[in-house]
Structure 1
Amino acid sequence: MRAGGLLLSPFPMDHGPFDHDDSDRARLQTALARTAVFAPPTPDTPEACALAWAADAGRPAFVLTDGPDAAPEHARPVRGPDDFAAVRESVIRDA
């Protein structure tokens, strides 16, 4: 926690890691976050679904990208320091 990390799970400790639980994990992490910042998600992955959920729920949603590819329509691209300022603003707004 001192380093800024948090480990969380919607499952009991003895549940075990199962691939089918990834979508619940991604949605839980996104739901708990004030702002969601994703690496570019592959379509039809838990992270892509969580990104869509964040946007549909009206949460600030961002996607890191370094190329000309645009972020999905429901997310804002983060390409550099100017874009990062918007991420920071979404985190501290109404805090």
Structure 2
Amino acid sequence: MNRLVKIRIIVNDILNNQPDLELRNHGYIHLYAVSSFCNLLALKRGINAELCTISGMLHDIYTYKTGSSTDHAILGSIEARKILSEPIVLVKSLVQ
């Protein structure tokens, strides 16, 4: 299983645990759409598509995990680092 699939499993779990159904649905639409756009942009520019796709998938993860957008950029980067540091993901090269 590649790293992107593992990230999607983790993100899906976070979204499935979001009790606000509207926020959960928005999270699926938003995170997958941004992730796809990041992938296309990376392919067009000749840069690492996997890294860009994962970045798009995690860019607002804090908001969808907690339901709060307060300081979501800072707190989201902390949450993304936690996810990327999980042994199951094995993406230390993406964290460094």
TM class by shorter-chain length? under 0.3
| TM-score, length basis structure 1 | 0.26
Higher RCO, 1 vs 2 (CA within 8 Å, ≥6 residues apart): 2
Choose between structure 1 and 2: higher strand proportion.
Answer: 1
Which of structures 1 and 2 has the bigger CA Rg? 1
| TM-score, length basis structure 2 | 0.26
Choose between structure 1 and 2: higher helix proportion.
Answer: 2
